[in-house]
Amino acid sequence: MNDSTTRQCRLAYLTSIPSPYRADMVRAWARHNPHLAISVFYTDPDDQGRGWDADPVGEGVTETRLPVIAAFQKYGKFNRKLAAMVRDHDVIMIGGFEQASYLTAALLAKLYRKPVILLFDGFSPARFGTEPAPILALKRLTVRLAQGLFANGTVGARYLREQLGVARDTPIHNQFLSHREAPIETARQRMASKDKAQIRHALGIPDDGRPVLMTCGYLTTRKRIDLIIDAIARRPHAQRPLLLVVGDGALREILQRQAAEAGVPAYFAGFRLGADLASFYLAADAFVLASNDDPWGLVVNEAMSAGLPVLVSDACGVALDLVKDDVNGFVFRTGDAASLADALTRLETMDCEAMADASRSLVAQWTPAHSAASLGKAVADAVSAMAS
């Protein structure tokens, strides 16, 4: 790169949409890497219906929405001004594999002789070996175009090596995909004078002395809330926790009816964000994520930061790094209600305070600051590889 010793390295990060958790990470990337001048480019004109309210990143980071030329059902958006983005920056970081603009940006970077970093959030362990050959071919092409790899956790590294053929001696830097700590701290301050029973009362959660098992996410088939209800229903009536469901979606009425018919006490709190969502973590005794396909599961990070034991299906990427059986929770078999019911039984015998401490300790490394340090190494690798 020209003048790399006298000016900041200009890093262009191409991603789909702004998001609150990613904004926190990008702020840290800029704050902890003063040698980088970071610009973020978004391929999508809106938030894809997520309902997120992401503040500007700040920290000197510029943000630009690229005009859309075309949209493809499986391959995302194709945008204008990609060539100018590549030309005007020293390093290009793309937020995924096969989307049209990501691949185009990587090809343009090759043309302009600019290093590329591939940022990869993760991949559901349940989907290893299931992708069609054309998709794998596109992903392998993208990997070959990248000089730096910035992948999330064990699942990200394993996928790159086992499915896409990245060599064992090629560095893969951990992205440390991070939750937002500020909403949890705000909720703690709000509820500082209340015990769990008082927090539940303040939030309108029924409280008859049962433990509260929380789950959170869009109420879609993939999240398998039905499996959680089934698992709870397998337990004796007196030992059934209250299921606290935070989130909304097309299956809400169906799930409410299933819980009522199965005799499972349940409270559906609807869609929540920020400190309002975090308050529900503080009201719960444990957290469950039963997805049958989840590249990571950032809600598990949040629950652990709030001090909850976690029960996570083995189809979630987060299970490989942040869930330790008999330490801070349990991993159960995807789609297996009996396996989840067994985990619930085992949880009853555990020291939940010790598990809460273990959750907080394990998630403490997954912070924007750690992500920033790792990104600095990925940039250095990419620049060095391009120069060699």
Per-residue pLDDT tens digits for 175-234: 999 999 999 999 999 999 999 999 999 999 999 999 999 999 999 999 999 999 999 999
**Two tokens, residue 99:** 């989307």
HSE-CB of 104 using CA atoms within 13 angstroms: 18
pLDDT of residue 383: 95
Check whether residue 72 and residue 136 sit in a common domain.
yes
Mean predicted confidence (pLDDT) in 150-155: 97
Residue with the bigger pLDDT between 1 and 174: it is: 174
Rounded Cα distance between 152 and 160, Å, is 11
> What are 78-110's pLDDT values in tens digits?
999 999 999 999 999 999 997 899 999 999 999
Q: What is the DSSP letter of 147?
A: S
> What are 259-305's pLDDT values in tens digits?
999 999 999 999 999 999 999 999 999 999 999 999 999 999 999 99
Q: What is the β-pairing status of strands 68-72 and 76-79?
A: antiparallel
pLDDT of residue 54: 78
Check whether residue 317 and residue 337 sit in a common domain.
yes
Tell me the H-state helices in the chain. Answer: 20-32, 82-87, 100-112, 133-145, 153-162, 182-190, 196-203, 225-233, 252-262, 274-283, 298-305, 319-322, 337-348, 352-363, 368-387
pLDDT of residue 51: 63
CB 184 within 8 Å of CB 281: yes
Tell whether 51 is covered by a domain.
yes
Cα first-last separation, the chain:
12
Check whether residue 142 and residue 66 sit in a common domain.
yes
Rounded Cα distance between 225 and 1, Å, is 51
Q: Percentage of residues in the chain with pLDDT exceeding 70?
A: 97
Check whether residue 120 and residue 32 sit in a common domain.
yes
Mean predicted confidence (pLDDT) in 21-33: 96
Coil, helix or strand at residue 194? coil
Q: Is the overall model pTM greater than 0.85, yes or no? A: yes
CB 284 within 8 Å of CB 299: no
pLDDT of residue 6: 61
Check whether residue 204 and residue 148 sit in a common domain.
no
Tell whether 2 is covered by a domain.
no
Number of domains in the chain: 2
Rounded Cα distance between 285 and 309, Å, is 7
CB 65 within 8 Å of CB 42: yes
Tell whether 152 is covered by a domain.
yes
CA-nearest of 123, 72, 96 to 15 is: 96
pLDDT of residue 53: 72
Q: What is the DSSP letter of 179?
A: -
Check whether residue 95 and residue 199 sit in a common domain.
no
CB 196 within 8 Å of CB 188: no
pLDDT band at 167 (very low <50, low <70, confident <90, very high): very high
Check whether residue 295 and residue 146 sit in a common domain.
no
Tell whether 3 is covered by a domain.
no
> What are 49-68's pLDDT values in tens digits?
666 677 899 999 999 999 99
Per the structure, the complete domain to which residue 78 belongs is given by 9-178+367-387
Rounded Cα distance between 321 and 325, Å, is 11
Phi (first) and psi of residue 340, to 5 degrees: -70, -40
pLDDT of residue 4: 43
CB 179 within 8 Å of CB 21: yes
pLDDT of residue 3: 45
HSE-CB of 223 using CA atoms within 13 angstroms: 21
Q: Which long-range contacts (CB under 8 A, 24 or more apart) does 321-324 make?
A: 321/153, 321/154, 321/155, 322/362, 322/363, 322/366, 324/358, 324/362
pLDDT of residue 262: 98
Rounded Cα distance between 248 and 52, Å, is 14
- Within its chain, how far is the Cα of 241 from the centroid? 27
Check whether residue 120 and residue 85 sit in a common domain.
yes
Distances 357 to 214, 310, 328, 334, 360 between C-alpha atoms, Å: 18, 12, 8, 26, 5
Tell whether 1 is covered by a domain.
no
Mean predicted confidence (pLDDT) in 109-115: 97
Give me the sign of the Cα torsion angle 247, 250, 256, 258. Answer: negative
Q: What is the β-pairing status of strands 173-174 and 266-270?
A: unpaired
Tell whether 29 is covered by a domain.
yes
Check whether residue 187 and residue 173 sit in a common domain.
no
Tell whether 4 is covered by a domain.
no
Check whether residue 204 and residue 158 sit in a common domain.
no
Q: Is 74's pLDDT higher than 90?
A: no
Tell whether 170 is covered by a domain.
yes
For residue 329, give the CATH number of its domain. 3.40.50.2000
Check whether residue 128 and residue 270 sit in a common domain.
no
Check whether residue 159 and residue 231 sit in a common domain.
no
